[in-house]
Structure 1
Amino acid sequence: MRHKMLNLLNVSSTHLSTNQIILNFAIATILGLVIYLSYRTSHTRVVYSGRFNVSLLMMTMITTLVMSVIGNNIALSLGMVGALSIVRFRTAIKDPRDTAYIFWCIGIGICCGVSEFLVATIGTGFIFVTLVVFGLVQDNFRYLLVVRCDRNKEKAVLAEVKQFYKGKAELKVNNSTVDKSEFIFELTHKIIKKASSQESNISDRLYDLGGIDSVNTVCQSDEMR
């Protein structure tokens, strides 16, 4: 029984030839460049990180390297799991889609490492098209209306904002000192678009009340968090 277990642990894949190793890395590099292009195309905003994009390409090649060494060797695979378990990754993920790209790179690296080029190519094609198309989907931005005024103008400000936005402006924050007050209202693009059809804007109406220090509109998106 002991000898059978030792033989099972020592089983490994057929030694790869030099040409096969070069081919594995060549295909992995090509598909990694496709991932690079997909990430760059679908991340056109401030959240795009060129250095992270390069790391995706390197991750694909590194995974190919690891899989080429492991093959079917159980002992090596267990040792690799043990080695990776002590590594802590503290890189902040700015966009939830980055996680999908990381798994994509690992998947391509595994496929190329075991010479499953057809699976890697077809899978990359489908994923590339999906991410490029849905990568154009933007978040529903939220807008914050920040009003700073004298404290004795609180009721007038609340009434004016409620009237201008038809009661749809949601009050999120109300800060006040002895003399001053600050209001933060949350708005959607739809609410602002409907209100823009009026002859005057919210800033002019609030400043006409008097005692208003400032009126600011801020677009709040995932990039600001």
Structure 2
Amino acid sequence: MKKHLFDYLKMYEGSLSLQNVLINFLIALAIAMVIYLAYRFSHSGAVYSAKFNVSLVMLTLITTLVMNVIGNNIALSLGMVGALSIVRFRTAIKDPRDTVFIFWCIAVGICCGVSEYTIAALGSGIIFLFLILFGSIKSNDRFLLVIHGMRAGETEIESTILTSYEGRAILRVKNTTAENVEYIYELSEKMIEKAEKRNISITNLLYEVSGVEAVNLICQNEEISR
């Protein structure tokens, strides 16, 4: 039994030639640059990290390197799995899209490492087209309107918000003391744009109310909340 197992493992010890290794790396690098551009253009917001983007290219090449070493050697592949299983990563992924790009790079590296260029190129092309079609979709930002003032103007403040946003502003928090009052209203981007088209400046209107001390408009989206 041991002899048959040894002969089986020896049968699949094939190694790649230098030419095949170079081709694997060149194609992996070319596809990695496509991933680099895809990440750059789909992350044009505040969360874009140039260092992470370069790391994606390196991850693709490193995965290709590992697959070139493993080749068809089953014994070596099992040993590599055991060695990598002890590695623990503690880097927090702030954006779920980053996880997708990491798996994309690993998949491309695996395909190029075993010379499956067609699968790597075709799969990357489909993913890239998907990012172009749906990458421009943005999440709806929520805006919090925070108002601090005196309780004497409580009724007028509520009336101003009700009129300005046609009763669609959602009251989330109302804190009061014997003399002061605090409001937190939730607004949508469409509500603010609609008010601006009617030349309504909510800050000017609120500061005209007697007793209003401070007005803050805060954009709350997924990137900021993390």
Question: Structure 2-normalised TM-score?
Answer: 0.90
- 8 Å contact 1:11–1:74 — kept in the other structure? no
Shift of 1:203: 1.9
Q: Kindly report which structure 2 residues correspond to 1:46-85, keeping only aligned pairs within 5 A, or say none.
A: 46-85=46-85
C-alpha distance after superposition, 1:87-132 (max 9, x if no partner): 2222222322211111110111001100111111122222222213
- 8 Å contact 2:13–2:74 — kept in the other structure? no
How big is the alpha-carbon RMSD for the aligned residues of Structure 1 and Structure 2? 2.0
**Residue number in structure 1 paired with 2:95:** 95
CA 1:150–1:71 in 2, change beyond 3 Å: closer, same or farther?
same
Q: Number of matched residues?
A: 225
Shift of 1:13: 4.5
Q: Kindly report which structure 2 residues correspond to 1:9-20, keeping only aligned pairs within 5 A, or say none.
A: 9-20=9-20
CA 1:23–1:158 in 2, change beyond 3 Å: closer, same or farther?
same
Identify which range, 206-215 or 169-178, moves more after superposition. 169-178
* One-letter identity of the residue aligned with 2:51: R
Write the distance in 1 (CA, Å) between the matches of 2:174 and 2:69: 61
**Residue number in structure 2 paired with 1:106:** 106
Identify which range, 104-113 or 5-14, moves more after superposition. 5-14
Identify which range, 172-181 or 27-36, moves more after superposition. 172-181
C-alpha distance after superposition, 1:115-165 (max 9, x if no partner): 111111122222222213322222211111111111333343223212321
- 8 Å contact 1:27–1:112 — kept in the other structure? yes
- 8 Å contact 1:64–1:109 — kept in the other structure? yes
- 8 Å contact 2:164–2:200 — kept in the other structure? no
Write the distance in 1 (CA, Å) between the matches of 2:118 and 2:105: 16
Shift of 1:199: 4.7
Gaps of 5+ in 1: none
Question: Structure 1-normalised TM-score?
Answer: 0.90
Write the distance in 2 (CA, Å) between the matches of 1:6 and 1:106: 30
**What's the secondary structure of 1:182's corresponding residue?**
strand
CA 1:86–1:157 in 2, change beyond 3 Å: closer, same or farther?
farther
Write the distance in 2 (CA, Å) between the matches of 1:89 and 1:151: 53
Shift of 1:86: 2.2
